[in-house]
Amino acid sequence: MKKTLALALAAVMALSLIGCGGGGSQGTQAPNQGSQAQTGSEAATGGQTEAPTDAPEVVSEFHGPIYDDWSEKTDDELYAMAKEEGGQITVYATSSKMLKNEEAFEEAFPDLDVVIVDMDSDEVSEKCATEARTGNINGDVLQVKDPNGSIFHDLVEEGLVTSFYPKDICEHIDPELLKYGYPLYSSQSFWYYNTKAFPDGQPIHSWWDILDTNEDGTQKYRILCKEIGTETAYLALFASFIQNADQMAAAYKEKTGEDLEYTYDASKFDFEVPENNAGVEYIWRFSQLRMTFIKDGDELVQAVHNSTADDPALALASAGKIGNREESGYDIAWVVGLTPYTAVQNVENLYVVAGCDNEAGARLFIRWCTGGADGESKGLKPFKKEGNWPARDDIECDWNGDYASVKDCGAIAPDVEGIYEMFLDAQDMWTYWLNQNPNMK
């Protein structure tokens, strides 16, 4: 299942190159790919030769930052080129906040026309693939999160989009965030607690604390969340626990003083489940909790606000839902500093669509969205909200209180490849075990 889309997209790219006469300028490919590098189609079909059994692990040639001639160009140079290319710059965006940049960009760069098309992540992937298959490329810029690695593996590595790395701006960005794409900003999912119910501060300090029981054996916290198995960002977070099993085991021992006992039964799965893996154990135990699934994030934090010390609730929701504290007067706060880590950074990336009509304009828009050369452009303004963090270290993040950096909350950079490899298995494990949960029937 993991490679089905990749195989389809490899064929898609081949057709698009035929229809587009080669797919654009040198900036649409990873410049460190030599003529001997295996193409996406060859990789998907096995290529011509077999690697020796003792060959080193293959490292993607699309890992950034990758600098090319585009990386050195200034805003003025790109602006002049974009005017020559003419036409409009079409941005496929998965955040409605990007719509606010349409007029502001045109004011900053007269003679250029930008159109923002708002859609969800699945629509973006499908639209990029369809346009490549038909040779009818309409998009120029893609803005999307990639929590489970599907964008990197199925669009970037297959050549449907490319990561543009402006060198002067990248000098202000953590290299960890440049590995799989060029970041606009990052966010994450937090556990929320009720500040009136817990006036002395957050009640949990480890992911294992969420599983605590009362003296009578009943569940200590009421758990509120979206259905994790159907929410990509949340499931990717749980998949990361499997990848970081040693850290999960150490966190358990730090909490209890004892080694973790493994109780999960993986005999029913038709794939290999890691043995004695603390991340798998956590998914099994968590899946057996009494949970209330709520689709809307605002309703999740509202339920936490309505909870009490006698009936305490914890809710997993996106960081931006903290805005309800100011807007609605909710008694809510983030849980931060969890062991082994609070969350995985959910990075919003920007890509150039391969074979697009306005390559210079696309790159100019991307630079402008991330602050431009001096970090002062208006492009970041719509995303400067509580729960979002700029990727650049030269932009003061004064809207997140004491947490000027996303790492201050205990978040880690995403291991996109590791999560991608484990994602579908984690989903199968979660779904199977959830269906066995007597508390959810």
DSSP characters for 248-311? Answer: HHHHHHHHHSSPPPP----TT-SSPPPTT-HHHHHHHHHHTS-EEE-S-HHHHHHHHHT--SSS
Comparing 118-122, 275-279, 336-340, 357-361, the range with the smallest average pLDDT is: 118-122
> Which amino acid does the sequence have at 125?
S
For the domain covering 189-344+421-440, report its CATH number: 3.40.190.10
Give me the pLDDT at residue 439, please.
86
- Residues facing residue 316 across a β-bridge: 191
> How does residue 406 score in pLDDT terms, banded at 50, 70 and 90?
confident
Average confidence (pLDDT) over 227-241: 96
The pLDDT of residue 334 is above 90: yes
Distance CA 316, CA 21 (A): 48
- Main-chain phi, psi angles of 317, to 5 degrees: -150, 165
Q: Cβ distance 158 to 15 under 8 Å?
A: no
Parts of the chain belonging to CATH 3.40.190.10: 4-28+62-186+346-400, 189-344+421-440
Comparing 5-9, 32-36, 137-141, 184-188, the range with the smallest average pLDDT is: 32-36
Average confidence (pLDDT) over 54-71: 79
Task: Record the pTM.
Answer: 0.85
Average confidence (pLDDT) over 113-136: 89
Give me the pLDDT at residue 57, please.
52
Residue 50 is given by DSSP the state: P
Comparing 126-135, 323-332, 431-440, the range with the smallest average pLDDT is: 126-135
Give me the pLDDT at residue 70, please.
97
Q: Which of 39, 7, 44, 45 is nearest to 23 (CA)?
A: 39
How far from 107 is each of 102, 104, 121, CA to CA, in Å? 9, 5, 28
Residue 380, H or E segment = none
* pLDDT tens-digit series, residues 160-212: 999 999 999 999 999 999 999 999 999 999 999 999 999 999 999 999 999 99
Average pLDDT, the chain: 87
The three-state secondary structure class of 19 is: helix
Let me know if 177 is exposed, middle or buried by CB neighbors in 10 A (0-12, 13-18, 19+). Answer: buried
Per-position DSSP letters for 391-423, written without gaps between them: SBTTS---SSTT-SSGGGGTEE---HHHHHHHH
To the question of domain 4-28+62-186+346-400 being in CATH 3.40.190.10, the answer is: yes
